[in-house]
Amino acid sequence: MDETPQRIFCRCCIVGGGPAGMMLGFLLAHAGVDTIVFEKHADFLRDFRGDTIHPSTLEAMHDLGLLEDFLKLPHQKLRQGEVKIGDVTIPFVDFSHLPVHAKFVALMPQWDFLDFLAERAKRSPCFRLLMSAEADGLIEEEGSVAGVTAKTKDGRLTIRADLTIGADGRHSLVRREAGFVPLDIGAPMDVLWFRLSRRTTDADDFLGRVDAGQILVVFNRANIGSAPM
């Protein structure tokens, strides 16, 4: 196999195709900036992520002219919800008063959200998305970051860019290699994330319960979206 790395040049290289990387890639490409996003997985299908797309995100989608088409994707709407604290059930959230166009949380798998963003971003000639491409080092020249190296299923890749952005999540390689040290503010609680079946009598807008030292949050996550649950 030819070990010579394939070379790519671009103005902006974004490592990581999560919500941050894909949205930034979309914005830069639509502003005419030659942008590459690369993502180490072959697809966006990762079930450990949540499903709630909040009114503020939906408003950003509206501002970008994407909301109408986005809401054609299968989703549920959470307009209000109740929580039980001790023995008392109280209204907990009500989005109807928000000064936004979509006064609800859209429940939709994150991979559908990312697939949608990717499809819209690709309509710009300035956008390239490389899947199954994992950054494994930074290129440094004269004290500056000048791009990244990556491995793909087709071999090694060198991407030279005027601006390199790390959007590669909480264990960011870009951050580590660039010498940034995150501030550890601690985690005040542990979260256990799991799936339960529903009864037909379960309330649609029940969000959970709170007791001394314990919180249970429930999302009514129907079998919607493009992937099997």
Ligand X SMILES: Cc1cc2nc3c(=O)[nH]c(=O)nc-3n(C[C@H](O)[C@H](O)[C@H](O)COP(=O)(O)OP(=O)(O)OC[C@H]3O[C@@H](n4cnc5c(N)ncnc54)[C@H](O)[C@@H]3O)c2cc1C
Residue of the chain from 17, 81, 109, 147 that contacts ligand X (CB under 6 A): 17
Residue of the chain from 10, 12, 16, 70 that contacts ligand X (CB under 6 A): 16
CB of 87 to ligand X, least distance (A): 28
CB of 29 to ligand X, least distance (A): 16
Residue of the chain from 25, 34, 39, 147 that contacts ligand X (CB under 6 A): 39
Q: Which stretch binds ligand X (CB under 6 A): 33-41, 72-80, 153-161, 209-217?
A: 33-41
Q: Which stretch binds ligand X (CB under 6 A): 35-43, 65-73, 75-83, 209-217?
A: 35-43
Closest residue to ligand X, Cβ-based? Answer: 50
Hey, what are 161's tokens? 């860019």
The pattern of x and - marking residues 142 through 181 that bind ligand X according to CB under 6 A reads -------------------------xxx---x--------
Residue of the chain from 11, 49, 151, 156 that contacts ligand X (CB under 6 A): 49
Contact residues for ligand X, defined by CB under 6 A: 15-21, 38-41, 48-52, 134-135, 167-169, 173, 193
